[in-house]
Amino acid sequence: MMSNPYTPGGRPRVFVGRDGERRWLRDRLARVVAYGEMMGPLVVATGPRGVGKTSLMRDLQAQAQETGFVVAWVAGVKQQPFLADVVDRVTRALDRADRLERPARARVQEVGVEVGVGMAKVSATIGRGDNSEVGSSAALVGPVEDFFHTASHLVRDAGGAGLLVIIDELHAPLLPRSDRESTADPRASLDAAVLLNAVQNMEAEREDYPLGVIGAGLPETKAYLTRAATFGERTHEMVLHVLDENTARQVLTEPARSLGVTWSPEALAAATQASGGYPQSLQTIGAATWDAAQPDEGDTITLADLKAGRSVSDAGLESLFRARWEVATAFERAFLEAMARHTDNEIDRAAVAAELGVDTDALGMHRRSLISKGIIESPRRGSLRFTIPGFAAYVRSLDDNPGGPAER
Protein backbone atom coordinates (compact mmCIF):
# COMPACT_ATOMS: atom_id res chain seq x y z
CA MET A 1 0.00 0.00 0.00
CA MET A 2 1.27 3.47 -0.89
CA SER A 3 1.30 6.08 1.82
CA ASN A 4 -1.21 8.92 1.64
CA PRO A 5 0.31 11.95 -0.12
CA TYR A 6 -2.22 14.50 1.20
CA THR A 7 -1.46 16.72 4.16
CA PRO A 8 -4.54 18.18 5.85
CA GLY A 9 -3.26 20.83 8.24
CA GLY A 10 0.38 20.27 7.34
CA ARG A 11 2.88 21.56 4.86
CA PRO A 12 1.82 20.33 1.40
CA ARG A 13 3.99 17.70 -0.27
CA VAL A 14 3.43 19.45 -3.56
CA PHE A 15 2.93 23.19 -3.36
CA VAL A 16 0.74 24.42 -6.23
CA GLY A 17 -0.42 27.79 -7.52
CA ARG A 18 0.23 31.20 -5.94
CA ASP A 19 2.32 32.01 -8.99
CA GLY A 20 1.81 35.76 -8.75
CA GLU A 21 2.71 35.86 -5.07
CA ARG A 22 5.74 33.64 -5.54
CA ARG A 23 7.02 35.68 -8.44
CA TRP A 24 6.63 38.89 -6.48
CA LEU A 25 8.42 37.44 -3.46
CA ARG A 26 11.18 35.96 -5.59
CA ASP A 27 11.71 39.36 -7.13
CA ARG A 28 12.01 40.93 -3.68
CA LEU A 29 14.52 38.33 -2.56
CA ALA A 30 16.49 38.89 -5.76
CA ARG A 31 16.96 42.53 -4.75
CA VAL A 32 18.62 41.48 -1.54
CA VAL A 33 20.80 38.99 -3.41
CA ALA A 34 21.84 41.40 -6.15
CA TYR A 35 22.34 44.64 -4.23
CA GLY A 36 22.65 43.54 -0.63
CA GLU A 37 19.80 45.90 0.17
CA MET A 38 16.60 45.57 2.11
CA MET A 39 13.72 43.68 0.52
CA GLY A 40 11.33 46.61 1.04
CA PRO A 41 8.75 47.70 3.61
CA LEU A 42 7.15 45.11 5.86
CA VAL A 43 5.11 42.57 3.90
CA VAL A 44 2.21 40.63 5.42
CA ALA A 45 0.43 37.75 3.75
CA THR A 46 -3.13 37.67 5.07
CA GLY A 47 -6.14 35.42 4.74
CA PRO A 48 -8.43 33.14 6.74
CA ARG A 49 -7.14 30.08 8.54
CA GLY A 50 -6.48 27.22 6.17
CA VAL A 51 -6.10 29.35 3.05
CA GLY A 52 -2.39 28.61 2.80
CA LYS A 53 -0.40 31.37 4.53
CA THR A 54 1.98 29.12 6.43
CA SER A 55 2.47 26.95 3.34
CA LEU A 56 3.40 30.00 1.29
CA MET A 57 5.84 31.11 3.99
CA ARG A 58 7.42 27.64 4.10
CA ASP A 59 7.78 27.75 0.34
CA LEU A 60 9.41 31.17 0.61
CA GLN A 61 11.72 29.88 3.32
CA ALA A 62 12.89 27.02 1.11
CA GLN A 63 13.39 29.34 -1.84
CA ALA A 64 15.35 31.81 0.27
CA GLN A 65 17.57 29.11 1.72
CA GLU A 66 18.37 27.87 -1.77
CA THR A 67 19.52 31.34 -2.78
CA GLY A 68 21.83 31.72 0.21
CA PHE A 69 19.68 33.36 2.87
CA VAL A 70 19.78 32.53 6.52
CA VAL A 71 16.11 32.31 7.53
CA ALA A 72 14.71 32.87 11.00
CA TRP A 73 11.18 31.54 11.57
CA VAL A 74 9.03 32.94 14.38
CA ALA A 75 5.44 32.06 15.24
CA GLY A 76 3.41 34.67 17.13
CA VAL A 77 1.57 33.57 20.25
CA LYS A 78 -1.79 34.91 21.38
CA GLN A 79 -1.44 38.16 23.35
CA GLN A 80 2.25 37.59 23.99
CA PRO A 81 5.16 39.88 23.11
CA PHE A 82 7.21 38.50 20.21
CA LEU A 83 10.26 40.67 19.61
CA ALA A 84 12.49 38.84 22.08
CA ASP A 85 11.57 35.69 20.21
CA VAL A 86 12.55 37.29 16.91
CA VAL A 87 15.97 38.15 18.33
CA ASP A 88 16.35 34.68 19.78
CA ARG A 89 15.37 32.94 16.53
CA VAL A 90 17.69 35.07 14.46
CA THR A 91 20.54 34.32 16.84
CA ARG A 92 19.82 30.60 16.66
CA ALA A 93 19.50 30.61 12.87
CA LEU A 94 22.89 32.30 12.59
CA ASP A 95 24.35 29.89 15.06
CA ARG A 96 23.23 26.97 12.91
CA ALA A 97 24.35 28.52 9.62
CA ASP A 98 27.47 26.59 8.72
CA ARG A 99 28.97 29.36 6.68
CA LEU A 100 29.50 31.59 9.71
CA GLU A 101 32.79 31.52 11.57
CA ARG A 102 32.83 31.23 15.33
CA PRO A 103 33.80 34.86 16.14
CA ALA A 104 30.95 36.09 13.93
CA ARG A 105 28.47 33.96 15.83
CA ALA A 106 29.80 35.20 19.14
CA ARG A 107 29.36 38.79 17.95
CA VAL A 108 25.72 38.36 17.02
CA GLN A 109 25.01 36.65 20.32
CA GLU A 110 26.49 39.63 22.11
CA VAL A 111 24.33 42.11 20.23
CA GLY A 112 21.33 39.86 20.75
CA VAL A 113 21.90 39.84 24.50
CA GLU A 114 22.17 43.65 24.55
CA VAL A 115 18.84 44.07 22.79
CA GLY A 116 17.36 41.44 25.07
CA VAL A 117 18.41 43.35 28.16
CA GLY A 118 16.94 46.57 26.76
CA MET A 119 13.69 44.83 26.01
CA ALA A 120 13.47 43.26 29.44
CA LYS A 121 13.90 46.70 31.05
CA VAL A 122 11.19 48.29 28.96
CA SER A 123 8.85 45.40 29.51
CA ALA A 124 9.39 45.66 33.27
CA THR A 125 8.44 49.36 33.09
CA ILE A 126 5.26 48.47 31.27
CA GLY A 127 4.61 45.71 33.77
CA ARG A 128 4.63 48.36 36.52
CA GLY A 129 1.86 50.13 34.69
CA ASP A 130 4.05 52.98 33.50
CA ASN A 131 2.68 53.21 29.99
CA SER A 132 4.99 55.73 28.43
CA GLU A 133 4.98 53.50 25.39
CA VAL A 134 6.02 56.06 22.86
CA GLY A 135 9.19 56.89 24.76
CA SER A 136 9.92 53.23 25.43
CA SER A 137 9.51 52.32 21.82
CA ALA A 138 11.92 55.06 20.73
CA ALA A 139 14.52 53.68 23.13
CA LEU A 140 14.33 50.23 21.58
CA VAL A 141 14.20 51.06 17.90
CA GLY A 142 17.91 51.93 17.62
CA PRO A 143 19.18 48.77 19.31
CA VAL A 144 16.84 46.63 17.20
CA GLU A 145 18.17 48.26 14.03
CA ASP A 146 21.73 47.64 15.23
CA PHE A 147 20.87 44.04 15.85
CA PHE A 148 19.46 43.53 12.35
CA HIS A 149 22.41 45.40 10.89
CA THR A 150 24.95 43.17 12.60
CA ALA A 151 23.03 39.98 11.93
CA SER A 152 22.34 40.61 8.24
CA HIS A 153 25.90 41.75 7.53
CA LEU A 154 27.35 38.69 9.20
CA VAL A 155 25.52 36.57 6.65
CA ARG A 156 26.51 38.81 3.77
CA ASP A 157 30.16 39.03 4.83
CA ALA A 158 30.33 35.26 4.97
CA GLY A 159 29.24 35.09 1.34
CA GLY A 160 25.52 34.57 1.95
CA ALA A 161 22.67 36.60 0.45
CA GLY A 162 21.32 38.08 3.65
CA LEU A 163 18.88 37.50 6.48
CA LEU A 164 15.18 36.72 6.08
CA VAL A 165 12.86 36.94 9.07
CA ILE A 166 9.46 35.28 8.75
CA ILE A 167 6.87 35.94 11.45
CA ASP A 168 3.90 33.60 11.11
CA GLU A 169 0.67 34.20 13.06
CA LEU A 170 1.58 37.86 13.34
CA HIS A 171 -2.01 38.74 14.28
CA ALA A 172 -1.89 36.54 17.38
CA PRO A 173 0.20 38.74 19.70
CA LEU A 174 -1.98 41.72 18.74
CA LEU A 175 -5.37 40.11 19.35
CA PRO A 176 -7.68 42.23 21.51
CA ARG A 177 -7.49 41.22 25.13
CA SER A 178 -11.21 40.56 25.34
CA ASP A 179 -14.32 40.53 23.18
CA ARG A 180 -15.28 43.86 24.67
CA GLU A 181 -12.23 45.96 24.03
CA SER A 182 -10.05 46.65 21.08
CA THR A 183 -6.79 47.07 22.98
CA ALA A 184 -4.01 44.51 22.69
CA ASP A 185 -1.46 43.43 25.25
CA PRO A 186 0.68 46.56 25.81
CA ARG A 187 3.99 44.69 25.53
CA ALA A 188 2.92 43.04 22.28
CA SER A 189 1.77 46.42 20.91
CA LEU A 190 5.09 47.90 21.89
CA ASP A 191 6.91 45.12 20.07
CA ALA A 192 4.89 45.77 16.93
CA ALA A 193 5.56 49.51 17.18
CA VAL A 194 9.28 48.92 17.61
CA LEU A 195 9.44 46.47 14.72
CA LEU A 196 7.46 48.75 12.41
CA ASN A 197 9.57 51.76 13.30
CA ALA A 198 12.79 49.85 12.85
CA VAL A 199 11.70 48.43 9.48
CA GLN A 200 10.64 51.89 8.38
CA ASN A 201 14.03 53.39 9.29
CA MET A 202 16.01 50.52 7.81
CA GLU A 203 14.03 50.74 4.58
CA ALA A 204 14.99 54.44 4.38
CA GLU A 205 18.65 53.35 4.45
CA ARG A 206 18.06 50.12 2.62
CA GLU A 207 21.52 49.80 1.08
CA ASP A 208 22.79 49.14 4.62
CA TYR A 209 20.55 46.15 5.28
CA PRO A 210 20.71 42.87 3.36
CA LEU A 211 17.46 41.90 5.06
CA GLY A 212 13.85 40.95 4.52
CA VAL A 213 11.04 40.93 7.09
CA ILE A 214 7.74 39.30 6.26
CA GLY A 215 4.74 38.30 8.31
CA ALA A 216 1.60 36.24 7.82
CA GLY A 217 -1.67 36.37 9.69
CA LEU A 218 -5.44 36.58 9.71
CA PRO A 219 -7.20 39.26 7.63
CA GLU A 220 -7.12 41.77 10.49
CA THR A 221 -3.33 41.76 10.78
CA LYS A 222 -2.76 45.01 8.96
CA ALA A 223 -5.43 46.81 11.00
CA TYR A 224 -3.80 45.54 14.19
CA LEU A 225 -0.39 46.72 13.03
CA THR A 226 -1.77 50.13 12.17
CA ARG A 227 -3.30 50.36 15.62
CA ALA A 228 0.11 49.63 17.14
CA ALA A 229 1.91 52.26 15.06
CA THR A 230 0.82 54.59 12.30
CA PHE A 231 3.65 53.16 10.17
CA GLY A 232 1.58 50.00 10.06
CA GLU A 233 -0.34 51.58 7.24
CA ARG A 234 2.66 51.34 4.97
CA THR A 235 2.76 47.59 5.31
CA HIS A 236 2.44 45.84 1.99
CA GLU A 237 -0.48 43.47 2.32
CA MET A 238 -0.61 40.35 0.19
CA VAL A 239 -4.13 38.97 0.41
CA LEU A 240 -4.49 35.23 -0.14
CA HIS A 241 -7.81 34.01 -1.54
CA VAL A 242 -9.20 30.57 -2.12
CA LEU A 243 -7.70 28.83 -5.16
CA ASP A 244 -9.16 29.08 -8.64
CA GLU A 245 -10.63 25.91 -10.07
CA ASN A 246 -7.63 24.88 -12.09
CA THR A 247 -5.22 25.29 -9.19
CA ALA A 248 -7.65 23.59 -6.83
CA ARG A 249 -7.60 20.56 -9.13
CA GLN A 250 -3.83 20.50 -8.99
CA VAL A 251 -3.89 20.32 -5.19
CA LEU A 252 -5.60 16.95 -5.73
CA THR A 253 -3.89 15.68 -8.88
CA GLU A 254 -0.23 16.59 -8.27
CA PRO A 255 0.45 14.60 -5.09
CA ALA A 256 -1.27 11.57 -6.68
CA ARG A 257 0.55 11.94 -9.94
CA SER A 258 3.92 11.75 -8.26
CA LEU A 259 2.86 8.22 -7.18
CA GLY A 260 1.48 7.25 -10.60
CA VAL A 261 -2.17 7.65 -9.58
CA THR A 262 -4.74 9.72 -11.52
CA TRP A 263 -8.13 11.21 -10.66
CA SER A 264 -11.08 10.55 -12.97
CA PRO A 265 -12.51 13.79 -14.40
CA GLU A 266 -15.84 13.26 -12.60
CA ALA A 267 -14.24 12.64 -9.21
CA LEU A 268 -11.98 15.63 -9.68
CA ALA A 269 -14.82 17.96 -10.63
CA ALA A 270 -16.97 16.84 -7.69
CA ALA A 271 -14.15 17.12 -5.16
CA THR A 272 -13.09 20.55 -6.37
CA GLN A 273 -16.67 21.73 -6.30
CA ALA A 274 -17.17 20.50 -2.74
CA SER A 275 -14.04 22.30 -1.53
CA GLY A 276 -14.95 25.74 -2.83
CA GLY A 277 -11.24 26.06 -3.65
CA TYR A 278 -10.32 26.21 0.03
CA PRO A 279 -6.92 24.48 0.38
CA GLN A 280 -7.58 22.96 3.76
CA SER A 281 -10.79 21.32 2.45
CA LEU A 282 -8.99 20.06 -0.65
CA GLN A 283 -6.33 18.33 1.44
CA THR A 284 -8.98 16.91 3.78
CA ILE A 285 -11.04 15.54 0.89
CA GLY A 286 -7.92 14.28 -0.90
CA ALA A 287 -6.71 12.41 2.17
CA ALA A 288 -10.08 10.78 2.90
CA THR A 289 -10.62 9.77 -0.72
CA TRP A 290 -7.14 8.29 -0.96
CA ASP A 291 -7.69 6.21 2.16
CA ALA A 292 -10.97 4.91 0.76
CA ALA A 293 -9.41 4.12 -2.62
CA GLN A 294 -6.12 2.64 -1.41
CA PRO A 295 -4.77 2.94 -4.94
CA ASP A 296 -1.75 1.19 -6.42
CA GLU A 297 0.51 2.69 -9.02
CA GLY A 298 -1.41 3.05 -12.29
CA ASP A 299 -4.85 3.20 -10.61
CA THR A 300 -7.52 5.85 -11.09
CA ILE A 301 -9.45 7.46 -8.25
CA THR A 302 -13.16 7.43 -9.08
CA LEU A 303 -16.40 9.05 -8.00
CA ALA A 304 -17.14 5.88 -6.03
CA ASP A 305 -13.93 6.38 -4.03
CA LEU A 306 -14.89 9.97 -3.36
CA LYS A 307 -18.26 8.82 -2.06
CA ALA A 308 -16.70 6.07 0.01
CA GLY A 309 -14.41 8.61 1.66
CA ARG A 310 -17.22 11.07 2.15
CA SER A 311 -18.06 10.33 5.77
CA VAL A 312 -14.43 10.73 6.80
CA SER A 313 -13.90 13.93 4.82
CA ASP A 314 -17.19 15.35 6.09
CA ALA A 315 -16.10 14.66 9.63
CA GLY A 316 -12.78 16.38 8.92
CA LEU A 317 -14.46 19.42 7.46
CA GLU A 318 -17.00 19.48 10.22
CA SER A 319 -14.36 19.54 12.91
CA LEU A 320 -12.81 22.48 11.10
CA PHE A 321 -16.12 24.32 11.21
CA ARG A 322 -16.96 23.22 14.72
CA ALA A 323 -13.68 24.60 16.06
CA ARG A 324 -14.75 28.02 14.82
CA TRP A 325 -18.35 27.67 15.99
CA GLU A 326 -17.27 26.75 19.49
CA VAL A 327 -15.25 29.92 20.07
CA ALA A 328 -18.30 32.07 19.28
CA THR A 329 -20.42 33.50 22.12
CA ALA A 330 -24.19 33.02 22.22
CA PHE A 331 -24.88 36.36 20.59
CA GLU A 332 -22.19 35.77 17.99
CA ARG A 333 -23.82 32.46 17.10
CA ALA A 334 -27.15 34.22 16.57
CA PHE A 335 -25.23 36.69 14.41
CA LEU A 336 -23.73 33.86 12.34
CA GLU A 337 -27.11 32.16 12.00
CA ALA A 338 -28.65 35.39 10.76
CA MET A 339 -25.92 35.67 8.15
CA ALA A 340 -26.20 32.03 7.09
CA ARG A 341 -29.96 32.25 6.65
CA HIS A 342 -29.40 34.88 4.00
CA THR A 343 -26.28 34.02 2.15
CA ASP A 344 -23.40 31.72 1.34
CA ASN A 345 -21.55 34.84 0.39
CA GLU A 346 -21.53 38.51 1.13
CA ILE A 347 -24.22 40.32 3.14
CA ASP A 348 -24.89 43.90 4.24
CA ARG A 349 -24.21 44.60 7.88
CA ALA A 350 -27.56 46.40 8.01
CA ALA A 351 -29.37 43.25 6.87
CA VAL A 352 -27.85 41.26 9.72
CA ALA A 353 -28.86 43.95 12.19
CA ALA A 354 -32.42 43.96 10.84
CA GLU A 355 -32.61 40.20 11.08
CA LEU A 356 -31.51 40.32 14.70
CA GLY A 357 -33.78 43.26 15.46
CA VAL A 358 -30.96 45.46 16.74
CA ASP A 359 -29.25 48.68 15.72
CA THR A 360 -26.34 48.39 13.27
CA ASP A 361 -24.15 50.11 15.86
CA ALA A 362 -25.03 47.48 18.42
CA LEU A 363 -23.41 44.87 16.19
CA GLY A 364 -20.03 46.58 16.21
CA MET A 365 -18.45 44.80 19.13
CA HIS A 366 -19.67 41.34 18.06
CA ARG A 367 -18.67 41.94 14.49
CA ARG A 368 -15.14 42.93 15.56
CA SER A 369 -14.90 39.90 17.77
CA LEU A 370 -16.02 37.53 14.98
CA ILE A 371 -13.53 39.13 12.63
CA SER A 372 -10.68 38.78 15.08
CA LYS A 373 -11.62 35.14 15.57
CA GLY A 374 -11.22 34.72 11.82
CA ILE A 375 -14.80 33.51 11.28
CA ILE A 376 -16.07 36.41 9.17
CA GLU A 377 -14.39 39.20 7.29
CA SER A 378 -15.38 42.55 5.90
CA PRO A 379 -14.54 42.57 2.20
CA ARG A 380 -15.64 46.19 1.99
CA ARG A 381 -17.17 48.81 4.24
CA GLY A 382 -20.60 47.84 5.50
CA SER A 383 -20.56 44.29 4.24
CA LEU A 384 -19.62 40.95 5.74
CA ARG A 385 -18.95 37.42 4.63
CA PHE A 386 -17.80 34.07 5.98
CA THR A 387 -14.09 33.43 5.59
CA ILE A 388 -14.40 29.74 4.70
CA PRO A 389 -16.42 28.17 1.90
CA GLY A 390 -18.99 25.78 3.35
CA PHE A 391 -19.34 27.47 6.72
CA ALA A 392 -22.76 28.95 5.96
CA ALA A 393 -24.10 25.51 5.05
CA TYR A 394 -22.62 24.12 8.26
CA VAL A 395 -24.36 26.79 10.34
CA ARG A 396 -27.66 26.06 8.59
CA SER A 397 -27.23 22.37 9.30
CA LEU A 398 -27.02 23.20 13.01
CA ASP A 399 -30.16 25.23 12.70
CA ASP A 400 -32.14 22.35 11.18
CA ASN A 401 -30.98 20.11 13.90
CA PRO A 402 -30.64 21.90 17.24
CA GLY A 403 -29.13 18.85 18.93
CA GLY A 404 -26.03 19.07 16.77
CA PRO A 405 -24.81 18.95 13.23
CA ALA A 406 -26.95 16.96 10.81
CA GLU A 407 -26.07 13.28 10.52
CA ARG A 408 -25.70 11.90 7.07
Please report, as ranges, the residues that interact with ligand ADP according to CB under 6 A: 7-12, 15-18, 47, 49-55, 251, 279-280, 283
Closest approach of Mg ion to the CB of residue 256, in Å: 24
Tell how strand 43-46 and strand 376-377 pair up.
unpaired
- The least CB distance from residue 102 to ligand ADP, in Å, is 36
8 binds, among Mg ion, ligand ADP, none (CB under 5 to 8 A by kind): ligand ADP
For ligand ADP, the closer CB: 11 or 121: 11
Nearer to ligand ADP, 36 or 277 (CB): 277
Q: Looking at 54, 91, 272, 313, which residue binds Mg ion (CB under 5 A)?
A: 54
Min. distance of Cβ 180 from ligand ADP in angstroms?
Answer: 27
- Could you say which of ligand ADP, Mg ion, none residue 10 binds, taking C-beta under 5 to 8 angstroms by partner kind? ligand ADP
Q: How many helices (H) and strands (E) does the chain have?
A: 16, 10
CB of 240 to ligand ADP, least distance (A): 7
283 binds Mg ion (CB under 5 A): no
DSSP of 67-114: TTEEEEEEE--TT---HHHHHHHHHHHHHH-TTS-HHHHHHHHHHHHH
Helix pair angle (279-293, 245-257), 10° resolution:
40
Strand partners, 74: 167
8 A C-beta contact, residue 388 and residue 47: no
Closer residue to Mg ion in complex, CB, 18/156: 18
Give the CA radius of gyration of the chain: 23
3-state DSSP call for residue 281? Answer: helix
DSSP state letters, 201-244: HHHHTGGG--EEEEEEE-TTHHHHHHHH-GGGGG-EEEE--PPP
> Is residue 136 part of the contact set for Mg ion (CB under 5 A)?
no
Terminal alpha carbon distance of the chain = 29
Q: Which does 26 bind (CB under 5 to 8 A by kind): Mg ion, ligand ADP, none?
A: none
Nearest distance in Å: CB 254, Mg ion: 21
Work out whether 378 is an interface residue with Mg ion (CB under 5 A): no
If the CB atoms of residues 115 and 287 are measured against ligand ADP, the closer one turns out to be 287
Position with the least CB separation from ligand ADP: 52
Query: How many angstroms separate the CA atoms of 164 and 339, rounded?
Result: 41
DSSP 116: H
Tell me the C-alpha distance between 377 and 295, whole Å.
Answer: 39
Query: Any contact of residue 280 with Mg ion (CB under 5 A)?
Result: no
289 binds Mg ion (CB under 5 A): no
CB of 20 to ligand ADP, least distance (A): 12
Strand partners, 236: 43
The minimum distance between CB 224 and ligand ADP, in angstroms, equals: 16
387 is a site residue for Mg ion (CB under 5 A): no
Interface residue list for Mg ion (CB under 5 A): 53-54
